[in-house]
Amino acid sequence: MGISHAEELAQRKQWLLVRSDQLRQGFKQNLQQLALPLAKLDSTVQGLRWLAAHPLLPLGALVSVFLLSPRKTAGWIPRILWGWTMYRKAKDWLSLLRPG
């Protein structure tokens, strides 16, 4: 004789519970592999938020370096201007990173 409908449902339920546990364990392992990259991304976002809140502090540091050794830093002027231009263009994007 075949198995009853209730037994078939019980077996199906047991199989689904085992499969669910297997999938949960696999998901947990995948998340552990992403922990370090996500931590680095979080740190980068925090740094960008800080720059968005304090844009003049890094600029002031660059100006002070330039004033202390103008010859060495003269070659950096085009890079600084490029960076400032990129910052201004990305300002809207950076405002999205601000909490609140």
Closest listed residue to residue 59, CA positions, set 85, 41, 29, 92: 85
62 with 93, same domain?
Answer: yes
The pair of three-digit structure tokens given for residue 76, joined into one six-digit string? 């950096």
Digitized pLDDT (tens) for each residue of the chain, 100 residues in all = 578 989 999 999 999 999 999 999 999 988 888 888 888 989 988 988 888 788 888 888 878 877 878 777 777 778 878 888 888 888 777 777 766 5
Residue 3 DSSP symbol: P
Does residue 33 belong to any structural domain of this protein? yes
Would you state the pLDDT for residue 1?
Answer: 55
pTM of the model: 0.44
Number of domains in the chain: 2
Q: Are 54 and 8 in contact (CB under 8 A)?
A: no
Could you tell me if residue 43 is left (phi over 0), alpha (psi between -120 and 50 degrees) or otherwise beta? alpha
* Inside any domain, residue 24: yes
Residue 72's domain comprises 54-100
Asked, for residue 13, whether it belongs to a domain, the answer is yes
